[in-house]
Amino acid sequence: MRSAPTILHLDMDAFYASVEQASKPSLRGKAVIVGGLGPRGVVATASYEARRFGVHSAMPMAQARRLCPNGACLIPRFSLYREVSELVMGLLRELSPLVEPLSLDEAFVDLEAGGVAFDAAGARAVGERLRADITAATGLSGSVGLAGSKMLAKVASEEAKPDGLLLIEPGTERDLLAPMSVRTLPGVGPATGEHLRRAGITTVGELAEAGEDELVRMVGKAHGAGLYRMALGLDDRPVVAERDAKSVSVEDTFDVDLHDRVRIRNEVRRLADRCVGRLRASGHSGRTIVLKVRRYDFSTLTRSETLRGPTDDPAVVREAAARLLEGVDTTGGVRLLGVGVTGLADYTQEDLFAQVRAAEADTDPGVAPESGAAAPDGADAPSVAAGAGAAVGGPEGDGAAVAPVGSPVRHWAAGSDVRHAVYGPGWVQGSGVGRVTVRFEGPGSPPGRARTFRVDDPELEPSDPPALVGPG
């Protein structure tokens, strides 16, 4: 713990959805939902306008559509999100050499290491200036937390959302944390939170009052001791400069143990798609697929398979994870499932056999093309399954028009970028029944007019995302 609030945590507000609103003027101030558009699609993030209807990340897209029927449901455009993220991270690196990115839209900064702040007044000034610089450069807003530790800085930024700044003065940590839910603390997920709730512990203050010995008895030595320190506001972890990721993984703990083998297979498939989404968002591919299974008795099994070369193909990861699952006995029930990829690389060696299978599937009218291409805004990332009117994502996971092998029909995903020979650049507002509706506008234009074309209009072509610039 530091004696001054010189650790900064930045968390961009509803990042993916905000980027979409900034680049599509007609969506500003309206409900926007970003994620997979197919039957197994999951929400990556939702604008604050959509959240008022109860939409949140990791929710099935079908449920989000029911809750917010007038919301704009769009595919993710990761190449654009990465471009904006690099701009924001560049602003952070101007403040300090110690910048620790957690995701595309979130990072810690050590202000002391950069010599830009050594006390509360200086830290607040830096935080306010940073927020203004981000808005000027991108047109987006970010929330800033300032504290004497990483944990508290992250808590502060969450409390400051949206578009705010909160500074936690050293010495006030326990009073601030006491009324908060135990789920506020890092490492307290649904399972641990429920375990504590059954013991009558729902707030951080109650966690501190329970004492270290009781927490160790309840959740184990390492986890119990760590929880107790966090409940007291103690966290000595340093800000660590960006390092290469060693692995990418996702996992889910289920409220009720899973017994149905078909359901378990479907969950593994969904986790594999989410894992590939994170893998692509990090700009990596991986060679070793890892399956994690925690059974009803809390025993945990890990199985892995190493491929011939690194891949970011969702079909390859799904198939490997499915093979690994076949070797695991799930009798009695499953509490947790996870899929990960290790042996990361910056290039991809495609699985030729998987490509052949994909091509064969595309020629079969009874098989819907799929693409896993999404990433977390904050925590979980969804799978992107392309169904009717949706596109098969490219290597970046950005949807466009794709002509399946053996089919002359083009499919256009809502939110993808296009260019018309006469009307210029625009984006797909929707498609179906042989038609595609395009709204012609861009980041610096006023809301544009929508026009409808045949899906096979030769004058309409996929396009790269337009550069996003600030309002000035």
Rounded to an integer, what distance in angstroms lies between the CA atom of residue 402 and that of residue 463?
12
Q: Are 318 and 266 in contact (CB under 8 A)?
A: no
> How confident is the model over 183-196, as a mean pLDDT?
85
Buried/exposed code over 388-418 (b: 16+ C-beta within 10 A; e: otherwise): ebbbbbeebbbbbbbebeeeeebbbbbbbbb
Buried/exposed code over 242-268 (b: 16+ C-beta within 10 A; e: otherwise): eeeeeebbbbbebeeebeeeeebeebb
Q: Which of the residues 20, 106, 370, 396 is marked catalytic?
A: 106
Residue 471 binned pLDDT confidence (cut-offs 50, 70, 90): low
Rounded to an integer, what distance in angstroms lies between the CA atom of residue 184 and that of residue 205?
12
Candidate ranges 38-47, 51-60, 354-363; pick with highest mean pLDDT = 51-60
What is the tens place of the pLDDT at every residue in 59-101?
Answer: 999 999 999 999 999 999 988 998 999 999 999 999 999 999 9
Rounded to an integer, what distance in angstroms lies between the CA atom of residue 282 and that of residue 245?
8
What is the tens place of the pLDDT at every residue in 18-33?
Answer: 999 999 999 999 999 9
Determine the pLDDT at residue 243.
Answer: 62
Determine the pLDDT at residue 411.
Answer: 80
Catalytic residue check, 209: no
Q: Is the pLDDT of residue 380 over 50?
A: no
Residue 407 binned pLDDT confidence (cut-offs 50, 70, 90): very low
Determine the pLDDT at residue 172.
Answer: 92
Residue 246 binned pLDDT confidence (cut-offs 50, 70, 90): confident
Determine the pLDDT at residue 265.
Answer: 95
Q: Which of 154-158, 297-301, 320-324 has the lowest mean pLDDT?
A: 297-301
Determine the pLDDT at residue 191.
Answer: 81
Candidate ranges 157-171, 291-305, 307-321; pick with highest mean pLDDT = 157-171
CB atoms within 10 A of CB 97: 11
Candidate ranges 127-131, 249-253, 310-314, 344-348; pick with highest mean pLDDT = 127-131
What is the tens place of the pLDDT at every residue in 357-375?
Answer: 433 333 333 322 222 333 3
pTM, two decimals, is 0.68
Q: In the predicted model, what is the mean pLDDT of the chain? A: 84
State the sign of the Cα–Cα–Cα–Cα dihedral 411, 416, 417, 423.
positive
Determine the pLDDT at residue 221.
Answer: 85
Q: Which of 150-154, 233-237, 303-307, 387-391 has the lowest mean pLDDT?
A: 387-391
> How confident is the model over 155-174, as a mean pLDDT?
94
Q: CA angle, 270 as apex, 319 and 242 as ends, to 5°?
A: 95
Determine the pLDDT at residue 469.
Answer: 64
Contacts of 256 (CB under 8 A, 6+ apart): none
Q: Which domains does the chain have, with CATH numbers?
A: 180-231 (1.10.150.20), 247-350 (3.30.1490.100)
- The more confident residue out of 441 and 406 is 441
CB atoms within 10 A of CB 155: 26
Q: Is the pLDDT of residue 457 over 50?
A: yes
> Phi-psi region for residue 54, left (φ > 0), alpha (ψ -120 to 50) or beta?
left
Terminal Cα distance for the chain, rounded: 39
